[in-house]
Structures are given as structure tokens and as C-alpha cells.
Amino acid sequence: MPLQAYAIPAYQFYIKLCKTNRPPHSAVRAPGKFESPLIMEHIIEHVAARLNLDPVTVRELNFLKAPPSGACFTKEQKRLQLLASMQ
């Protein structure tokens, strides 16, 4: 499952964290992993309805784009690039 399907730079949210003495109510390692895509799809549907557009069009406009050619590096290339920037 991809971590994220859409690139939406104008999307912003705020999180409040709290610490309690209660155990978690989740039996999975990554709570929210399945809820997050559902929420994002609901947001896409809402935006499409608000703009009077087809939801498929809104999804396609916001899909992640492939990185430019040469943007992906191997670990060795990243290490060499980091060493070069430190000199």
C-alpha cells in the first residue's frame, strides 16, 4: 500500500498530542494506516462536489508525479553527494 497517492501542497492540518496513563486501544502497529486514505478520498470527493467537478478529474490532477529523470539516487550516490557537500 503506498504511503500517499496525492500531492496536495495547499493541504494543511493541525495535530494535538496528549500523553495518558491508559494503554492504546489498537491491536495494530500503525493505527490510522487504513483510515488515512479513506479520509483523503472523502476530502477529494468533497472538493470535487464543491467545485462541481468529476471526482476522477480531481484525483487525476492531484496524483503524485514521477520524479524528474536522475532524481533517484542509490545509497552510494547519496553518500558521495553528502560527502562532497561537506567539503
Instruction: Please list the residues that pair with 6 across neighbouring strands.
Output: 63
Tell me the sheet residues that pair with 63. Answer: 6
Average pLDDT over the chain, rounded to whole?
Answer: 77
Query: Among 62, 61, 78, which residue's Cα sits nearest to residue 70?
Result: 78
Angle subtended at Cα 11 by Cα 7 and Cα 12, rounded to the nearest 5 degrees: 135
pLDDT, tens digit, for every residue of 56-82? 999 999 888 776 666 666 677 777 777
| Mean pLDDT on 30-49 | 83
Q: What count of residues does the chain have?
A: 87
Residue pair 6/40 in contact (Cβ under 8 Å)? The answer is yes
More confident of the two residues 43 and 81: 43
